[in-house]
Structure formats: structure tokens, C-alpha cells
Amino acid sequence: MSGASSWLQKMRKAELLELCESVDFKDYHGLKKTEIEVALDDYLRENADQYSGEARLAPFYKTRGRSESSPIKKEATSVMSDIESKLRTTKRRVTKAAEELLATDDSEVEPLTTRARSALMRTPARSSALSNLSFASNLPLPPSPAVLAEVVDRRTAVLRSKFTEYYEKSGVVEGAEATRETLSSLTAIQGLIVLFELYNLRPELLPNRYAFTIPAIALLNTSPYSVKIPDLFLLLTSSFWGPAILWAFSSFLVPLAAAYFFNLTSKPRPRSHRTSFNYSFDPLTFNIVKAVLTYAIFGQDVTFGGLVDLEYVARINSALCGGYKGILTGTGIGTLVTLYEAVLNK
């Protein structure tokens, strides 16, 4: 037996009985309202050819046609009908129990009535059940994992493209390329070697002196910090200029002059043997002369007739990293780089 039409379910029992009489349906005696609804629904469907043209039964056949065309809606209507039937049966039983309790003697009226009322309060009403079902059907369902993965991939691609755009606009790539091009030369390597010697020589020639103190900052939890700067007043004394001039002549000026005059790279060559590099100062000559002077002055204490003060030699030896051997190491590196470049450009 299938579920009754929603149009029949909305009618009261008196209306259903009147409708049964009008369509000559007599088998309703002794039936409950829900049973009459189902039986009358079956009767009208079986006699659809006779009653489907009547205007008063048009709502029935209209709703019945939609429910039969959709199995899902038909099943849902049947389920709702069963739920409402059970709710009405339960309510009717509770009401009947309450009436029987009211018919008892006065000594039991109050407690029995109270229990009946609590039973009625605990019975869910039809409107409450329908509102709960409507609320549940309106709840938004969460997206599927595939949708979430697609959203994450799309956002990740956007962030990656923005990061790449900002990275390109920042000029980091261009700066790195320019720095590599500048440092990838023999001149830059020789300059770094000279700067390294000056960096080690500066604390000996211009030692630091106390200048001022940065006070402690409680917010940053820092301690007092003493700031020291090079003692520039030593620039007015021979304590600075004596070692500085000795190093400048032995490690830079004299080797540079020799590299200018003994420059093998500037010698004219046949067009077939011409190389791709030509220096104003021969780097190989520069390193060789520097190594010879360093070994003679700082390694063998040669004074060149009293022109070199051995006190200055000792100060420079103690200041440089590794002493005069550190300078010789620098000249060796410069010589190897010079030969390597000559091989690459051969």
C-alpha cells in the first residue's frame, strides 16, 4: 500500500468522508483517518479515467502525477506520511490517556494529570518535525576534497606568480649578475688581496680608542655598549706614516711601477697570435716583484742601506695575517689567477 496524496492528508476527517460519499467510495467504515486517506487515494487512482476530469479532484491528480513521476519525491512523501501517522497516533493515545486519567477519583486527578501533561509536552508536534526537516535540508554542505585541492592550487599559483614578479622587480638578479661580472676579473682579485692586507694592517697603525657608550635599553633588554673608533690623531705622527709608507712602497707602488715598465701584454704581436687581453700593468710582473721585495724586506730584514726601519718591519709582520708569509700567499694566488686567465684566453 503506497502513501496517500498530500492533498488528501491536508483534509479533515469530515471532509474525507464527504469526498468518499461524492465519489461512491463506501469502504471507509471502521477505518482511521490515515487509513481512509490511503484507501481513498488507491480508489481515485484506480478510477482515474472516471474522475480525473472533475475540477474538484484536479489538485489530487496534479500532485499525484508529480509524485509518481519522481521516485525520490514519492518515497519522501511516503516517509512523511508514516511519520505524521505515527505522530497523530501517539498524540491520540496520549490524549485518550489524559481523558481517562481525568475520569478517575479526585485523589488521583492532580498527579495523573501532571504526568499526562508532561507526556504531551514530550511528544513532538508535526510542525516542529517539519521545521527541523526544513532546517536540515537548508544546511550548506561542505565542498568536496577535489574542490578544496583546486582552490589551494589556484591560490598557490597566484602567490608564486606574485613572488616571482616582486623578485624580478627588486633587481636582485641584475645586481647579482653585475657583481659577478665585476668580481670575475684579475683586477678585482688583485684589489681584494690588497684590501685584505690593509684590513689587517689598520688596527696596528690606527688602533681603536674609546669614543662614547650607548646606554642600556630596558625595552630591548640590552646592556651598555662602548663604541670605539680609530684614533685619527695618529695620522699626525710618524708612528702611522713610517709603517704605512714602507708597506705602500714594498707591496704596491714599486711592484706597480715594475708592472708598467715590464709589461709583456702590451708588446705588439702578429695578428695571428694576438690574444684577447691587454693590460696597462702586467699582473704577473706585479706579483713577482711584490713577492721578491716582501721576502727580502720582511723575511730577510734587508734595509737597503738604512732606508728601511726594522721596527716598522716588525710592526707590519705582527699585524698582517701570517706575517710576510701571508703576503707571499697573496702573490702566489695572484700569479695562479694570471696564468689561468692566460690559458683560458689562449
Q: Please state, in angstroms and rounded to a whole number, the distance separating the CA atoms of residues 167 and 165.
A: 5
Q: Please state, in angstroms and rounded to a whole number, the distance separating the CA atoms of residues 101 and 116.
A: 8
Residue found under cell 698582517: 320
| pLDDT above 50 for 1 | no
Confidence band of 71 (pLDDT split at 50, 70, 90) = very low
- Mean pLDDT, rounded, for 35-63: 81
116: left (phi over 0), alpha (psi -120 to 50) or beta: alpha
Q: Please state, in angstroms and rounded to a whole number, the distance separating the CA atoms of residues 89 and 2.
A: 19
Task: Give the model's pLDDT for residue 72.
Answer: 44
Per-residue pLDDT of 286-311, as tens digits, reads 999 999 999 999 999 999 988 999 99
| pLDDT above 50 for 107 | no
Closest by Cα among 122, 60, 59 to 87: 122
Per-residue pLDDT of 162-195, as tens digits, reads 888 887 787 887 888 888 888 888 889 999 999 9
From 4-8, 21-25, 213-217, the region with the lowest mean pLDDT: 4-8
| Domain extents in the chain | 6-138, 141-184, 185-205+231-344
Show the cell assigned to 214. 650607548
Q: Please state, in angstroms and rounded to a whole number, the distance separating the CA atoms of residues 4 and 235.
A: 112
- Mean pLDDT, rounded, for 47-61: 79
- Mean pLDDT, rounded, for 89-118: 51
Confidence band of 8 (pLDDT split at 50, 70, 90) = confident
Measured N-to-C along each axis, helices 310-319 and 238-248 cross at an angle, to the nearest 10 degrees, of 80
- Mean pLDDT, rounded, for 234-250: 93
Task: Give the model's pLDDT for residue 318.
Answer: 93
* pTM tops 0.75: no
Task: Give the model's pLDDT for residue 52.
Answer: 76
Task: Give the model's pLDDT for residue 276.
Answer: 53
| pLDDT above 60 for 151 | yes
Confidence band of 92 (pLDDT split at 50, 70, 90) = low
